[in-house]
Homo-oligomer: A and B are copies of this chain.
Amino acid sequence: MERSGGGDPRETLRLLWRSPRARSGRGRPPKVSLEKIVAAAVALADREGPDAMTMDRVAASLGVGTMTLYSHVPGKAELVDLMVDAARQELDLTPSGPWRARIEHYAKQTVALHERHPWLRTVSTVRPPLGPGLLARDNFLLAALSTAGLPAAEMSAASDSLVTFVDGAAANLAEHGRAERLSGQSDEAWWAERQVFWESFFDPARYPAIAQTWHDGGFDRDAAEAAANAFDLGLRALLDGIAAMAERNR
């Protein structure tokens, strides 16, 4: 699932903000709407993974011909942009309160979002679709950080670093949780298949720190639990660090 690129940016923006073109009243009435197409694409990607989200199958799930989609969307890349922004708009970003609690709320929401839409991880986040979802998120994070007491330049950097960590860790966490549901294979089964690795390839003498950590029980949790711990510890550390910077700045 690659994101936009070639197409006319103005057209993509018009779609992201649902600003309808001037309609003359004439012409054949549409069988589907942009909203329905995006929803069908999201549902398909949720259910069967990003590779199943093909123009053919989206159209089929709506009961229209494949090429009909192209009357509503310039191409697949733009549809992916719309899916991403639609997903981001699902975030509940209402709460106010202490800035730290707000960021933690964003983190929880993001985990839930990736759990619903694990295909989000497969989409690049640079030069993102400038839609309402992205703006709402950035606005929420900047509003929270602005009460922490950082200068504007550092606020923007702190917000970006939080997005990088939270979205990355949430994607990891969600992918572990859902990998077995989609692939039909649990983490345990995955490791069991790779038991040969420990038997035939892993050399404790070459990787002493891994062997030691293993020996000390550092890997005793399953992969999903480990990802959750990494998320919690990392977020706590990051917020502690940012709070300390704000304190110093005061």
Contact = CB atoms under 8 A, between A and B. Distances in A.
A27 to B, nearest CB: 25
A208 interface: yes
A239 B51 CA distance: 37
A234 interface: yes
Contact of A152 (B9, B16, B121, B216): B216
Given A157-B226, A196-B13, A220-B153, A139 B234 contact: no
Most chain-B CB neighbours within 10 Å: which of A9, A164, A229? A164
Interface stretch (A28-36, A62-70, A79-87, A175-183): A175-183
A213 interface: yes
A217 B161 contact: no
A113 to B, nearest CB: 16
A101 interface: no
Contact of A209 (B143, B187, B237): B143
Contact of A213 (B146, B168, B212): B146
Contacts of A209: 138-140, 142-143, 146
A135 interface: yes
Interface in A156-205: 156-162, 164-165, 167-169, 172, 175-176, 179, 183, 187, 190, 193-194, 196-197, 200-202
Tier of interface size on chain A: 35 or more
Contacts of A234: 157-158, 160-162, 164-165, 238
Contacts of A26: none
Interface stretch (A40-48, A52-60, A103-111, A240-248): A240-248
Contacts of A143: 208-209
Given A126-B179, A152-B213, A241-B241, 16 more contacts: A9-B196, A13-B197, A126-B175, A127-B179, A138-B210, A142-B218, A152-B218, A153-B221, A155-B213, A157-B230, A158-B234, A160-B172, A160-B227, A160-B230, A161-B234, A168-B168
A237 B229 contact: no
Interface of A: 2, 5, 9-10, 13, 16-17, 19, 51, 121-122, 124-127, 130, 135-136, 138-140, 142-143, 146, 152-162, 164-165, 167-169, 172, 175-176, 179, 183, 187, 190, 193-194, 196-197, 200-202, 206-210, 212-213, 216-221, 223, 226-227, 229-234, 236-242, 244-245
